[in-house]
Chain A
Amino acid sequence: MKYKSVFDIIGPIMVGPSSSHTAGAARIGRVARKLFGKEPKRAKITFYGSFAKTYQGHGSDVATVAGILDFDTSDLRLKNSLLIAEKAGMEVDLTTSEVLTEHPNTARIKLSDDQESIEVVGVSIGGGKIEVLEINGFALQLGFDSPTMLVLHEDRFGMIAAVAKILTQHKINVGLMEVSRHDRGARALMAIETDAPVSAEVLEEIRQIPYVFDVSLLSLN
């Protein structure tokens, strides 16, 4: 079942005109921003497919930048995001690509400042729902319907069990889990959607597991 909640159908509350091209674009931008964790200095956006063809009419560019500014789909500042980004000193570079992608509405977003960068590929699948298909080269398929924990770690035995053990101790049920790695033994990314909220203490416990590099919790709501 792709759609899980009645609010996927009745919602989101959003600034028009298109749920897939405006609200969906804003949400992809916001996922990238949340993953980056701060306001970036530079945002490089590439649109593919229908995004590339119709972004001007739908305000997909404005919406994506609004998401990168951490605005919600219903935030009235969405319309003026390009100006707001410029005032904040954020460099926005938008290009379109003719490359064929599997999904018609695909966006690749690279955010960076002087210290670090992150690259996210997201698709807008309709009604404002999105899926993230790639984070820093890790192939995944995440809807971010509920709070999602991302654990960056070394690819070695026992990592999943170690994380699962801590969740078990805190009686947190895993709703959905995805693992992805660059190469065997290289860096790997674990994405976990949980039923119960994950507290800062639990995140810290997981961060203390040997061979875990980073832990973050991403929530779109």
Chain B
Amino acid sequence: MFRNVAELVELAESQGKKISEVMIEAEMEVSQRSRDAIMQDMYANLDVMEKAVRRGLTEDIRSHSGLTGGDAKKLQEYMKNKTFLSGPTLLNAVSMSVAVNEVNAAMGTIVATPTAGACGIVPGTLFAVSDKLQPTRDEMVNYLFTAGAIGYCIANNAFISGAAGGCQAEVGSATAMAAAAIVEIAGGTPEESAQAVAIALKNMLGLVCDPVAGLVEVPCVKRNAMGAAIATVAADMAMAGIKSVIPTDEVIEAMYRIGCAMPTTLKETAQGGLAATQTGRQIEAKIFGVRMEK
């Protein structure tokens, strides 16, 4: 089993395998389950993701609080009717990522990747990139194994939840996971995947977890949007041959140390950041009635 990204890349490159394949084989060993059983579980995840993307793009999603919903559809309509500046794959990734996170906020069914708060980025980028590259269903499942392999390294060497390490740990991890998976599905090397992880995660460092009223809605949905954008661009940069000066595992370590240094007011407690703004407080009071001195 690999313990960090460097070991993962070394295992993949020395055996001429993809990261997804290394992950599948490691999972077989750890769980003592057959390849078939493991693939089937991941296919089930893929199916749930696909349904969530479709729901978010076509249905009128509205969260219970009324704070979020409908933005994914708005972007799709904008792309259809207006001249837009960034590319269709990028905007699709953003829109699909928002779609899944809006479904989550409305208590719909999603797959935590690695968490529910960051559940839009991996499926959003996957289905957007798939529209362009037309991969096989197996390649799409492999995308999830590659993303999972990176998430596994981050989770075991740092953290993946906003409560533990801030949004950089949550949306940041999802963004890094997606960046590596985009590289692989687009034909890049394991080393390029690792570079994409470093480039993506660097741009998430320091991001705090400050949900308004404690709800997984504001700013989570829009952070999922930008996570998808960063992941896609980081993948392109890595495949262009751009390298991170700081090695990937050291970027992850930096994320960990920053998370440890972050005050608890900025770690999912709804006590700081956007949650503590005047509007954030007003929304909180409106939803829950005036409560809790902070």
The answer to whether A58 and B106 have CB atoms under 8 Å apart is no
Closest approach, in angstroms, between the C-beta of B201 and any C-beta of chain A?
15
Interface string of A163-189 (1 = CB under 8 A from B): 000000000000000000000000000
The answer to whether A3 and B152 have CB atoms under 8 Å apart is yes
Contact partner of A16 among B31, B108, B149, B211, CB < 8 A?
A: B108
The 10 closest A-B pairs by CB, nearest first: A126-B161, A54-B214, A16-B104, A9-B151, A6-B148, A17-B216, A19-B116, A19-B112, A57-B214, A19-B115
Given A2-B155, A17-B105, is A53 in contact with B163 using a C-beta cutoff of 8 Å? Answer: no
The answer to whether B145 and A18 have CB atoms under 8 Å apart is no
Q: Please report A residues at the B interface, Cβ cutoff 8 Å.
A: 1-20, 22-23, 50, 53-54, 56-59, 74, 76, 79, 104-105, 125-128, 195-196
Contact partner of B109 among A14, A59, A195, CB < 8 A?
A: A14
How distant is the Cα of A74 from the Cα of B113 in the complex, in angstroms?
14
Contact partner of B152 among A6, A57, A58, A59, CB < 8 A?
A: A6
The answer to whether B116 and A195 have CB atoms under 8 Å apart is no
Closest approach, in angstroms, between the C-beta of B266 and any C-beta of chain A?
13
Give the contact stretch, choosing among B38-46, B190-198, B250-258: B38-46
The answer to whether A11 and B109 have CB atoms under 8 Å apart is no
Given A6-B149, A9-B148, is A15 in contact with B108 using a C-beta cutoff of 8 Å? Answer: yes
Chain A residues in 8 Å Cβ range of B216: 16-18, 57-58
Q: Is B229 at the interface (CB under 8 A from chain A)?
A: no
The answer to whether A14 and B270 have CB atoms under 8 Å apart is no
Chain B residues in 8 Å Cβ range of A59: 107
The answer to whether B148 and A10 have CB atoms under 8 Å apart is yes
Contact partner of A10 among B117, B147, B217, B269, CB < 8 A?
A: B147
Closest approach, in angstroms, between the C-beta of A189 and any C-beta of chain B?
26
